[in-house]
Amino acid sequence: MGQRRCLRKLDVWLGLCVFVGLAGRAAGESVFQVKDINTVTGHSTPKELTSVNGAFLEPSTLFFAADDGVSGVELWKSDGTELGTIRVKDIVSGPTSSNPSKLTRAASAFLGPGRLFFTADNGVSGVELWISDGTGLGTHMVKNINGSATSSGPDNLTAVASGGLGPARLFFTANDGTTGVELWVSDGTSGGTVRVKDIHPTGSSSPASLTAVGSVLFFSADDGVDGRELWTSDGTEPGTVRVRDINAGPNGSGPNFFTEIDGTVYFRATTNALGSELWKTDGTWLGTTLVKDIVTGFGLASNPTQLVAIGSTLFFQADDGANGRELWKSDGSGPGTVMVADINPTGSAFIPNMFPGVVVGTADTLFFRANDGVHGDELWKSDGTAPGTMLVRDIYPGPTDGVVATLTNVNGIVFFGGRDAPGNWELWRTDGRTAATFQVGQILPGPADAAPSELTVAGPFLFLSAGGLDGVELYATDLVFLDGFESGDVGVWSSASIDGGDLAVTPAAALHGSLGLSAFVDDTAGLFVQDESPNNLFRFRTRFYLDPNGFDPGEANGKLRVRIFIAFEEEPNLRLVTLVLRRKAGQYSLMARVRLDDGTRAETPFFAITDAPHVVELDWTRSEGPDDTNGGLGLWIDEIPVSTLTGLDNSASGIDFVRLGAMSVKPGGNGTLFFDAFESRRERYIGVYP
């Protein structure tokens, strides 16, 4: 029944393909291929995905390396559209690759656009340091550090703030052919690219684990005398010093995993007596101390790894010699450094060397991959307590691993690559609840793995590299939320007001698929589902299917309206966007309303609809600043753009959560409303369900 209802609107949809304008891609795709970059040899294999900020109020740009099958592997950029996905420069003309690598964003001067540093081989100077502003002319080698065709091998590229309003500096390691592998710094110019210090005068100090902490660089280096120890640098030779010889003698302590919390840097270091344990430093000799000897005994080690800061708490994994490798936390004190939970009672919960980035934190929750000995490697979360450390979902039921790719935080929602069956390695998302952990679209129809990787946020999009029908290409999504009605309940939603079952998922309400949301009104109680995914969005699009289904808002009592969709700011609680359904003399119509900063409202006219299924879409944009009038609201009905409100001053509030259902019901209201196929995004037009 739901599919027949949608087909009534098929003629409207077919007539608006030009209006949708998505370069041949279906409007309804939650995850879409941005561009088939390589139409010659099959795979462009995008890699090194890196977001570089634009100028003030301008969106970020994605840079990456890709092979178009003609020019080899070169530098590309994308704004999330097919036309805006272009090769920046063919550094080595013809099919030979320059192989851009180690792409690193560095902030520019105050409010200015960021800059991209990377390494590349132009076929003449070897692998050297390059810079790009996103244009061909602005993409050039910074300096031939080695001074010949031999590569200087720039590595460990790390941007460090200037400490003022100036552009960030780039620290890196390189070999100039004379002093070995040492620490270098660059301001993006040839003259401003210099060796910071020859730390090892008779060889290479090989700086490693470069980490920016404010305007200072922390790193490890070997001076040839005391082994690899903890160093800091402000970018000058006098300001590049060893902090402390933690492990006296030539062996060094090998510090790494530097992680900063409130001015304190935590790290792992190894001494002959204590083994490999957790340390901390404030950048001074006296302030560099052991946090806790987790495994006591000469030379015994807990080997802490994967240090992550969540607020003022440090999370990490360690092996105390009794419980295996488990999740730990620290507040910087010995007593405050404890195991959070014994996730795997029969062994270790973690792989000793997890893939980089599989641990990600939202504002107050740590998400990570772990194995409890029963479910395989799956998605877990923790609030720092044993009861609050739990399996989010057994994605691949049984002992087979379900989480197989990098976790990425997108405005409080975690996206990751997951597999729930053989040949179905696809993109997933979660807000930490089991019901709200689900697959996002189908990049590659099975049985075959899309294997999403390189998840990177730039502008309104989450970009990824994945294998689709055109090979491994660039994909993206701006998805905020999907309704999950096909699961049979409203569990995907953050909350719901069901009034004893008057709001329910039923087959009768299906307007797409087999299940939809039914709101049975027999009193004035509000019936709605609520989604809290938006989280202060500056732009918000939503699409849902609506069938009035004979609903009466109380016409006999002079009550003609009911609110069916509201977008709110949380604090203060304000209605920012409202969609109103009206029935007057038996005729249904829809009107959209938006709140302005002065407390007044801008409204569209009422647009007549029939007592039948319809596709409704809203596009809300927040103005850029106080007194700016570039906010807007668009309304589509059955994919026809019926109204656009422009010139709005509405910068004060962002959308935090939304509700869908029957709200502000008046006495005499009765009947049942049907809703289905709710989806929200950050930018792209949604249209009918694919």
Would you say 230 and 269 are in contact if contact means Cβ atoms under 8 Å apart?
Answer: yes
d(CA 253, CA 229): 6
Q: In the prediction, which pLDDT does 28 show?
A: 53
On whether both 465 and 361 belong to a single domain, the answer is yes
Give φ, ψ of 207 to 5 degrees. Answer: -55, 145
Sign of the C-alpha dihedral, residues 298, 299, 303, 304?
positive
- Cis, bond preceding 572 (omega within 30 deg of 0): yes
Over residues 639-663, the pLDDT tens digits come to 999 999 999 999 999 999 999 999 9
Select from 477, 508, 531 the last residue of a domain. Answer: 477
Sheet with 305-310, edge to edge strand ranges? 305-310, 313-319, 325-330, 338-341
Q: In the prediction, which pLDDT does 690 show?
A: 66
In a domain, 649, yes or no: yes
Number of domains in the chain: 2
d(CA 172, CA 383): 36
Q: How many residues does the chain have?
A: 690
Sign of the C-alpha dihedral, residues 375, 376, 379, 381?
positive
Instruction: Name residue 568's beta-bridge partners.
Output: 575, 657
In a domain, 431, yes or no: yes
| Residue ranges of the chain whose pLDDT lies below 70 | 1-28, 57, 351-363, 690
Q: In the prediction, which pLDDT does 260 show?
A: 96
User: For residues 283-299, b (16+ Cβ closer than 10 Å) or e, as one string?
Assistant: beeeebeebbbbbeeee
Residue 441, CB half-sphere, CA atoms under 13 Å: how many?
27
Q: How far is CA 523 from CA 152, 233, 519, in A?
A: 76, 69, 11
On whether both 466 and 494 belong to a single domain, the answer is no
On whether both 359 and 450 belong to a single domain, the answer is yes
In a domain, 30, yes or no: no
In a domain, 641, yes or no: yes
Q: In the prediction, which pLDDT does 412 show?
A: 87
On whether both 513 and 628 belong to a single domain, the answer is yes
pTM for the full model? 0.92
Helix (H), strand (E) at residue 287: none
Q: In the prediction, which pLDDT does 360 show?
A: 61
d(CA 146, CA 29): 49
Q: In the prediction, which pLDDT does 215 show?
A: 94
Q: In the prediction, which pLDDT does 1 show?
A: 30
Position 538, amino acid: F
In a domain, 370, yes or no: yes
On whether both 511 and 627 belong to a single domain, the answer is yes
On whether both 381 and 439 belong to a single domain, the answer is yes
Would you say 69 and 76 are in contact if contact means Cβ atoms under 8 Å apart?
Answer: no
On whether both 544 and 628 belong to a single domain, the answer is yes
By 3-state DSSP, what share of the chain in percent is helix, strand and coil, each rounded to 5?
A: 5, 45, 50
